Amino acid sequence: MTAEIIHITLLSIFVSISATLLASAMAVPLGTIMGLHKFRGKEIIRTITYTLYGFPPVVAGLIIYLMLSREGPLGSLNLLFTPTAMILAQMVLVFPIVTGLTMSSVSDVAKDVKETAMTLGADRWQTAKTVLNEARVGVISAVMVGFGRAIAEVGAVIMVGGNIRWHTRVLTTAIVLETRRGNFQYALILGGILLSVALIVFFVLKRYQDKGVRT
């Protein structure tokens, strides 16, 4: 049982951190650009992004399921019921959160920092890096919230992962299963591990939040 718990825990960490990092790698630059610049249609994109904060996980799971199923556009990749499918489902949920919160954080400091950087001779890229550094507390908070959404996710990962023992079973899906079986003590242990994992990841991100990035 110990070996299985370790496997479930490591898979949970791998899937959620991968989903958060991959989604953030796209969401942070996008949120920064949207926070820095004014353009036609920005308000519509902002509204859609905020609406997607509440994207129902089962809908995200259904969309990924349909795309990865044998008849779907990505069916030939044989990804359904694999950890990759679970990462994709979590990315769909994390992406709008990190994008929207990054955009808000960048917008808050953009005017003052942009003007300061430009008057001191920064080019466009240096200005963006400086703004991002000044907004880092908010941006890393955005990544934390995104990770929180990913690690706590159950509906979408059950649909596209299938909760297969030793293959796609993660902490949340295992808790659901053990609760249904009436193994409440085991479910509670898994819940404690889930909270501990979240705590450790948030602690690491908080340290990074305090340090900032080089400009």
Partner 1 sequence: MSHEIAMRCEDVCKSFQGNTILDELSISVEKGELLAIIGPSGVGKTTLLKIMNGLICPDKGEVRLMDDRLRFDDEADLGARRKMALLSQEPYPLSKTVWENVAYPLHLRDEDDIEERVEDALEHVSLMDMAERNAGTLSSGELQRMAFARATVFEPEVLLLDEFTAHLDPYNISVLEDAVEWYVDEKDTAVVFVTHNLFQAERIAHTTAFLFDGQIIEKGTTEEVFEEAEDERTDAFVNGEMVF
- In the complex, the residues that contact partner 1 under the rule CB under 8 A are 112-113, 115-124, 126-127, 130, 133-134, 212, 215
Amino acid at 181: R
CB nearer to partner 1: pick between 4 and 112: 112
Element (H, E) at 38: none
Task: Give a three-class secondary structure readout of 106-119.
Answer: HHHHHHHHHHHHHH
How far is C-alpha 136 from the chain's CA centre? 17
Nearest distance, CB of residue 134 and partner 1, angstroms: 6
Residue with tokens 């044998």: 70
Distance CA 144, CA 128 (A): 22
Nearer to partner 1, 116 or 183 (CB): 116
Shortest distance (Å) from residue 127 CB to partner 1: 8
- By beta-carbon proximity to partner 1, the closer residue of 69 and 133 is 133
* Short-list 154, 165, 150, 137, CA closest to 92: 150
CB of 45 to partner 1, least distance (A): 23
Shortest Å distance, C-beta 38 to partner 1: 14
Q: Which is nearer to partner 1, 97 or 106 (CB)?
A: 106
Q: How far is the CB of 204 from partner 1 (least distance, A)?
A: 20
62 and 129 Cβ atoms separated by less than 8 Å:
no
Q: Please say which residue, 116 or 179, places its beta carbon nearer to partner 1.
A: 116
Q: How far is CA 144 from the centre of its chain?
A: 8
